């Protein structure tokens, strides 16, 4: 199967002050694939995502977007390749939901330009896909945390990049929207060949929906691969210190303890 390789990360070391958080981490990310980064708290998951997205500057190693070093790209150019959904997002001003989602189109616009018909179409599609049409005229500073999370995900979808990076995108959502967002992300991979990279804490969601998992601990990739390989009973016990059992049905797999 001939797949495009949109993102390659090589040998990243990163420190805050004198504390080394990432210790030679890397990986290859293919188109049409749903990736999850999992691991204990403090293992470096969010730091890795921020380096991939260009939020934090590289200290060593490399991030390549379609063969070009991220260090050689402007922020606007990076935003045409990759969209980023942070774990926490705070909007101080009274923008409507539709206005915030439309911000995803700004990397493609010249200064003071109006949204084109194509831009508006992508914004409306993102609102539909995240079930935000009933809220599109609401001000975002009046929304719940879960509603705001969906708005930021919709903005990333409207940005229409080949790579979507999300830091705990379902952590503030109720069960219904957790399922719908994960299902949507998986569909973006299958139907539009997006590369989706997300940090998830729910190992059962990861097990049943993701294609490829990077399990990291202490700033290193301990193991990567298909869900059943990475989230085996032995590996979970070793990394998380939990004795677990994998239960398989015809449709799903579950980790229990």
The predicted structure's pLDDT at residue 3: 63
Residue 1 binned pLDDT confidence (cut-offs 50, 70, 90): very low
Give the span between the Cα atoms of 113 and 161, in whole angstroms: 20
Which whole number is the average pLDDT over 29-35? Answer: 97
In order of their start, the domains of the chain are 7-256 (3.40.50.300)
Give per-residue pLDDT as tens, 245-256. Answer: 999 887 888 888
Report d(CA 86, CA 172) in Å as an integer: 12
Confidence of residue 107 (pLDDT cuts 50, 70, 90): very high
Sequence-ordered strand ranges (E) for the chain? 7-16, 19-29, 34-38, 62-65, 68-69, 82-85, 163-167, 195-199, 212-217, 220-225, 245-248, 253-256
Distance CA 181, CA 188 (A): 11
Q: What does the block give as tokens for 230?
A: 């990475």
Q: What percent of the chain has pLDDT over 70?
A: 98
DSSP secondary structure of 179-238: HHHHHHHHHHHHHH--EEEEE-S-HHHHHHH-SEEEEEETTEEEEEESHHHHT-HHHHHH
Region 102-111: mean pLDDT is 90
Of 83-92, 109-118, 203-212, highest mean pLDDT: 203-212
Rounded to 10 deg, the angle between the 145-159 and 117-129 helix axes is 140
- Please, what is the average pLDDT of the chain? 92
pLDDT at 126: 97
* Better-scored residue on pLDDT, 231 or 110: 231
């Amino acid at each position: 199967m001939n797949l495009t390789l949109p993102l390659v990360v090589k040998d990243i070391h990163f420190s805050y002050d004198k504390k080394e958080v990432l210790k030679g981490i890397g990986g290859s990310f293919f188109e049409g694939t749903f990736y999850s980064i999992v691991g204990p708290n403090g293992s470096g998951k969010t730091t890795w995502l921020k380096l991939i997205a260009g939020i934090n500057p590289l200290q060593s190693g490399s991030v390549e977007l379609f063969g070009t070093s991220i260090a050689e790209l402007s922020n606007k150019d990076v935003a045409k390749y990759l969209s980023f959904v942070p774990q926490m997002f705070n909007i101080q001003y009274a923008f409507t939901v539709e206005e915030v989602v439309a911000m995803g189109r700004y990397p493609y616009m010249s200064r003071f330009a109006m949204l084109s018909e194509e831009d508006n179409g992508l914004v409306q599609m993102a609102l539909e896909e995240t079930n935000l049409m009933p809220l599109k005229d609401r001000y975002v500073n009046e929304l719940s945390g879960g509603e705001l999370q969906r708005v930021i995900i919709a903005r990333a979808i409207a940005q229409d990049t080949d790579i979507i990076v999300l830091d705990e995108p379902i952590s503030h959502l109720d069960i219904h929207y957790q399922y719908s967002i994960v299902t949507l992300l998986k569909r973006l991979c299958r139907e539009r060949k997006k590369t989706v990279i997300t940090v998830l804490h729910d190992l059962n969601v990861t097990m049943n929906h993701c294609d490829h998992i990077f399990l990291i601990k202490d700033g290193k990739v301990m193991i990567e691969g298909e869900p059943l390989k990475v989230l085996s009973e032995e590996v979970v016990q070793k990394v998380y210190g939990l004795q677990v059992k994998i239960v398989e049905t015809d449709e799903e797999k579950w980790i229990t303890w």
